[in-house]
Amino acid sequence: MEAYLSLFLAAFLAATLVPAYSEILFAGLVSAGYDPLTLLFWASLGNTLGAAVNWLMGRYLLHFQDRRWFPFKESSLSAGQKWFNKWGVWSLLLAWMPVGGDALTFIAGMMRVPFWLFFVLTAIGKTLRYAILLGLITAL
């Protein structure tokens, strides 16, 4: 159970603004013989809940954007909003991307995307990412 909890935490942190990577741990645990579907579940859940933290920050902390500690610069927020306005909520299916994915989930909160819709679309994208990774690992 410890390995699954570690994966959950790594995936959670990787989806927040903390620089972390869960794919290496995921691949290592798959290779070590842990149950692949259980790993898929915990990694996807952790990553989706981590993204929910970004949504909450975008929803409720935008008024702190002039502070030095604020995680996004005005230029990246502006670019992200343009992307989000062009592609809409469907862009959340790409929230798994290493570059820009965290910003998308933050911007979804800023744009007041309903949480249930945010959660479903983000979970689909993040689960597909881990499923593809699982498929690649088992194929090799």
Alpha helices in 16-114, H assignment, sequence order? 23-31, 36-60, 74-87, 101-110
Share of the chain above pLDDT 70, in %: 100
Q: For position 87, what pLDDT does the model report?
A: 86
Angle between helices 2-15 and 36-60 (to 10 degrees): 30
Residue among 81, 76, 91 at smallest CA distance from 122 = 91
Higher pLDDT, 52 or 67: 52
Return the CA Rg of the chain.
Answer: 15
pLDDT of 54-97, one tens digit each?
999 989 887 787 888 777 777 777 777 787 888 889 999 988 88
User: What pLDDT was estimated at residue 31?
Assistant: 95
Mean pLDDT of 23-34: 96
pLDDT of residue 67: 81
CA torsion 6→8→13→14, rounded to 10°?
110
Residue 99 pLDDT > 80: no
Mean pLDDT value across residues 14-25: 88
What number of CA atoms fall less than 13 Å from residue 46's CA on the CB side? Answer: 23
